[in-house]
Copies of this chain bind each other. A is one copy, B any other.
């Protein structure tokens, strides 16, 4: 039996968002927020277009999910994001009390793990889902930028 709605399924949707960012000349990071196997928010990094350091994929997804739910807490939600959240995004996720964070590639420079950002005690976190695909897209982006 194949479960259609697993972590890989939703991370593919986040990767699709990252690809939209790539095409738009943005650092390619994408995110979706899921509740009961339903995607309620999709976003990708828009820091260049919006000229705003706060426009990370996760930040927009949090705002969008809260808007959809009509409440600012995301306790029953899972965030899928192609790159490990930074301090800002992990700090926002702390306030949202999100149920679970699943990320793709680890950010060894600026990820919340290495930075020691505190998550909400009820938030679970795991990484490594489609990490190679997420990393490959980021490497392609930075290689293109250097040309």
Contacts and interface: CB of A to CB of B under 8 A. Distances in A.
Contacts of A54: 54, 59, 62-63, 92, 95
Interface in A103-123: 115-118
A42 B53 CA distance: 17
Q: Within the oligomer, what is the number of copies of this chain?
A: 2
A4 interface: no
Interface in A30-47: 47
A73 to B, nearest CB: 8
A54 B43 CA distance: 15
Contacts of A91: 86-91, 117
Interface residues of A, number: 28
Nearest to A86: B91
A78 interface: no
Nearest to A60: B54
13 contacts: A47-B72, A51-B67, A51-B70, A51-B72, A52-B63, A52-B67, A54-B54, A87-B91, A88-B89, A88-B91, A88-B94, A115-B118, A117-B117
Given A87-B88, A88-B91, 17 more contacts: A47-B72, A51-B67, A52-B66, A52-B67, A52-B72, A53-B95, A53-B96, A54-B59, A54-B63, A86-B91, A86-B95, A87-B117, A88-B89, A91-B91, A91-B117, A115-B118, A116-B116
Interface of A: 47, 51-54, 59, 62-63, 66-67, 70-73, 86-92, 94-96, 115-118
